[in-house]
A and B are shown apart, each in its own frame.
Chain A
């Protein structure tokens, strides 16, 4: 059972079940807990190789026991996401914890990753359960529906969930090369039906300078 204590600490109550969390993110616990590092994100040998190859590395630990365990990471804001059989796409560095019942994997995201500077791949979380996301500043959750497509700055993108198609939208013109760009040269465009998580801060991206 995931619960937020304040906005920057995640409390998980466990009764003999387990959760997967970012390695080293435990700040306190009571009761009996066992922490086990999961090599390769607990996805088996194949997942491990895939992660190594794709650079979407994620060191997770498995926490199992009875009691309450608190997690936090560099005072980042934490956002809870409930998954009901749908799929969540998130950057590996933004995933704090997930129910053990959720499957994690790696998918190809296309060109977006290249402009964002954190690789061509993203982490997916699927199944039924809860996941906790990290963001710099509280994330804004935006709904995308067929009549309202959404454009997001790659630096502010955190995660998305649901049946969404994403494409890279480029505003690069000859003016960009004359140093007269609009400053928003690349955007991720989401179409379909789902939710997008956006943080009120931009990571440094290649696109940010254009």
Chain B
């Protein structure tokens, strides 16, 4: 077996190097990527947090998730950059004037021609527009079509179809005995009593494993009325207390850097 040695000339442009590594080519352009997913790069590339003043225009057009702002950076410059995530499978997907919702922990990077928004489903992000993005999954991704019920752990995301709803096994939930079983677990559970149900037209993306990618603080839900599941775990990563109303975008009025005129 000969080892393949790569250099900037032989590295692919915006394509996979192997199933676990993705190469992005930057030609004076910009990419959004999750913090710490860059493993190596050739050329001159700069990494700046979302709150960096000079990026304000870019952030205004393509980053609309104050909750995750602390976990994303913008790479800009020219050269080739390798992305990888904990030796999980990575794949790139092209979106053409479409929308796609994906688990926050699975999204690695995207082109600024896409706009990132928080999905109404907690822990998920929606990408809207045209462009390329890179996502990680535990095992290769499988594409399915609704109508479909999927295991919550296997769900990576969905495109062009209405958001899912919860589905509970009727027999399991029904009656006093069912209630007891729900509460105590006595009587046995198959572990498949709860699914996400998709209806309508579109595509559902599943990973071929039920091992959820370790959720990072990125997917945490803030304590807020109207947000289901709120308050479990910690709130967003280190941006100070989240007051009532909107979480604060770094770089918004009130941040230190702004006060110093940066």
Q: Assuming A150-B42, A200-B21, is B84 touching A137 (CB within 8 A)?
A: yes
Q: How far is the CA of A22 from the CA of B85 in the complex (A)?
A: 27
Nearest to B255 among chain A residues (CB) is: A178
Kindly list chain B residues whose C-beta atoms are within 8 Å of the C-beta of A201.
20, 84-87
Assembled-state Cα–Cα distance A23/B256 (Å): 52
CB neighbors of A among B13-65 (8 A)? 17-18, 20-21, 34-42, 45-52
Q: A182-B49, A200-B20 are in contact. Are A137 and B5 (CB under 8 A)?
A: no
Q: Which of A66-74, A98-106, A139-147 contacts B (4 or more CB under 8 A)?
A: A139-147
CA of A182 to CA of B51, assembled, Å: 10
Q: Which of A12-20, A108-116, A191-199 contacts B (4 or more CB under 8 A)?
A: A191-199
Residues of A near B20 (CB, < 8 A) are: 137-138, 200-201
> Chain A contacts of B8 at CB under 8 A?
148
Q: Mark B65-103, 1 if CB is under 8 A from A, else 0.
A: 000001101000000001011110010000000000000
Q: Mark B164-204, 1 if CB is under 8 A from A, else 0.
A: 00000000000000000000000000000000000000000
Please name all residues of chain B whose beta carbon is closer than 8 Å to the beta carbon of A127 when the two chains form the complex: none
- A200/B87 in contact, CB under 8 A: yes
**Given A179-B239, A200-B85, 18 additional A-B pairs, CB 8 A:** A137-B20, A137-B84, A140-B39, A140-B40, A141-B4, A142-B42, A148-B8, A150-B42, A151-B40, A171-B47, A175-B257, A178-B256, A180-B257, A184-B47, A195-B5, A200-B84, A201-B85, A208-B36
Identify the B interface with A (CB < 8 A).
1, 3-8, 17-18, 20-21, 34-42, 45-52, 70-71, 73, 82, 84-87, 90, 238-239, 250, 255-257
User: Could you name 18 residue pairs across A and B whose Cβ atoms are closer than 8 Å?
Assistant: A81-B3, A136-B86, A137-B20, A137-B87, A138-B20, A141-B6, A142-B6, A155-B39, A179-B250, A180-B52, A182-B48, A183-B36, A184-B35, A196-B40, A198-B82, A199-B87, A201-B84, A201-B86
